[in-house]
């Protein structure tokens, strides 16, 4: 499979997987009129819309996905608990300071996505969602996660975005199925991540990151590592101990070099250095490509390469696709 085909396949996969269900209804009355057809519903919850969610919503027996944009501090009506097929909930809290805790009683939920401008913490109760597989929380003021987050034993995906150095639960060993963790916005990389031994994909990006802690070698199952948008100059050598790593994505950072030990990662398939404007250690990079028996492609667009470097890389790595935009 060529690089172009690989990229096309990834984009196709993302376009398919990003949409959970079919057509989304945005008019509550039309949704009620077409109750049997409705699988996805998007609503705006206001103070003056007391009938926005009423007892008729139980007619939506096939409703799988519900998106609510809050313009009120009112609690969600209890009738929402009578939707047997509801599995995916998106909450847009806006400036609402408190969390609609009734959501925690929808125990069949598989996905919960929370965006907020003011939320500082998630209240206890989230542990009741014992079927939850995907959790996303994006709030610039988020400061802490509840201890019962550790009870989400089926959680596979966790994405957190906050400008604060987040306080994690006392223990996270209950997240035994967690495979993917996304972290962004804050200035500190959470060392608690190194306790997530089941992780296969780890990505984090923040313009405030200046260093990474030691401890990556503990993530023995990690297959994808993505670092982006950070002011990082130092590449910790213990990343080279990630023997299961397949994808190393270092785009849009300040790395100037990459350690030779990367060539010793036995399963590494790709390196992305795109938009690393300060990267200039092409001697090490060429040596890595020469020594590695597993790398399929490398992306160098946006680095300080020139035509001479490009030709040398292609000559020394004839079996490796070098992605570039040099003209």
SS in 3 state form for the chain?
CCHHHHHHHHHHHHHHHCCCCCCEECCHHHHHHCHHHCCEEEEEEECCCCCCCCHHHHHCCCCCEEEEEEECCCCCCHHHHHCCCCCEEEEECCCCCCCCHHHHHCCCCCEEEEECCCCCECCCCHHHCCCCCEEEEECCCCCECCHHHHHCCCCCEEEEECCCCCECCCCCCCCCCCCEEEEECCCCCCHHHHHCCCCCEEEEECCCCCCCCCCHHHCCCCCEEEEECCCCCCCCHHHHHCCCCCEEECCCCCCCCCCHHHHHCCCCCEEECCCCCCCCCHHHHHHHHHHCCCCCEEECCCCCCCHHHHHHHHHHCCCCEEECCCC
Give the model's confidence band at 2: pLDDT under 50 very low, under 70 low, under 90 confident, else very high. very low
Query: Is the pLDDT assigned to residue 37 strictly greater than 90?
Result: yes
Give the pLDDT band of residue 22 (cuts 50, 70, 90): low
pLDDT digits (tens, 9 = 90+) for 82-97: 999 999 999 999 999 8
Q: 207-218: per-residue pLDDT in tens?
A: 777 777 788 889
Tokens linked to 241: 């101990």
Instruction: Express each pLDDT in 100-159 by its tens digit.
Output: 999 999 999 999 999 999 999 999 999 999 999 999 999 999 998 999 999 999 999 999
All domains of the chain in start order, with CATH: 14-178 (3.80.10.10), 184-327 (3.80.10.10)
| pLDDT-derived band at 18, boundaries 50, 70, 90 | very low
325 closest CA partner among 274, 281, 285 = 274
Give pLDDT, residue 203: 92
pLDDT for 314? 86
Give bridge partners of residue 136 from the DSSP assignment. Answer: 113, 159
User: How confident is the model over 249-295, as pLDDT tens digits?
Assistant: 998 888 888 999 999 999 999 999 999 888 989 999 999 999 999 99
Mean pLDDT of 69-79: 89
Between residues 119 and 319, the one the model is more confident about:
119
Evaluate if residue 70 carries a pLDDT over 70: yes
pLDDT, greater one: 59 or 187: 59
Mean pLDDT of 172-197: 89
């Amino acid at each position: 499979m060529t690089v172009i085909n690989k990229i096309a396949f990834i984009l196709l996969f993302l376009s398919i997987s990003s949409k959970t269900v079919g057509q989304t209804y945005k008019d509550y009355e039309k949704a009620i009129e077409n109750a049997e057809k409705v699988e996805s519903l998007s609503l705006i919850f206001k103070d003056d819309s007391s009938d926005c969610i009423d007892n008729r919503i139980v007619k939506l027996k096939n409703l799988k996905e519900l998106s609510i944009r809050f313009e009120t501090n009112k609690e969600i009506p209890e009738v929402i608990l009578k939707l047997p097929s509801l599995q995916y909930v998106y909450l847009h809290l806006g400036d609402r300071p408190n969390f609609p805790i009734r959501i925690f009683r929808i125990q069949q939920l598989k996905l919960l996505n929370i965006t907020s401008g003011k939320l500082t913490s998630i209240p206890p109760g989230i542990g009741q969602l014992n079927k939850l597989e995907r959790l996303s929380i994006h709030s610039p003021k988020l400061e802490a996660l509840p201890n019962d987050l550790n009870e989400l034993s089926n959680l596979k995906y966790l994405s957190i975005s906050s400008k604060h150095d987040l306080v994690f639960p006392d223990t996270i060993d209950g997240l035994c199925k967690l495979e993917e963790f996304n972290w962004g916005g804050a200035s500190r990389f959470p060392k608690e991540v190194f306790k997530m031994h089941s992780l296969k994909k780890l990505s984090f990006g923040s313009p405030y990151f200046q260093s990474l802690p030691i401890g990556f070698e503990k993530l023995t199952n990690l297959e994808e590592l993505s670092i982006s948008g950070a002011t990082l100059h130092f590449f910790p050598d213990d990343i080279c101990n990630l023997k299961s790593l397949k994808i190393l994505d270092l785009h849009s950072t300040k790395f100037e070099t990459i350690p030779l030990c990367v060539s010793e990662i036995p399963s590494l398939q790709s390196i992305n250095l795109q938009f690393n404007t300060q990267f200039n250690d092409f001697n090490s990079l060429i040596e890595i490509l020469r020594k590695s028996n597993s790398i399929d492609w490398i992306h160098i667009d946006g680095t300080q390469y020139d035509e001479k470097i490009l030709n040398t890389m292609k000559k020394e790595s004839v079996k490796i696709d070098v992605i570039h935009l040099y003209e």
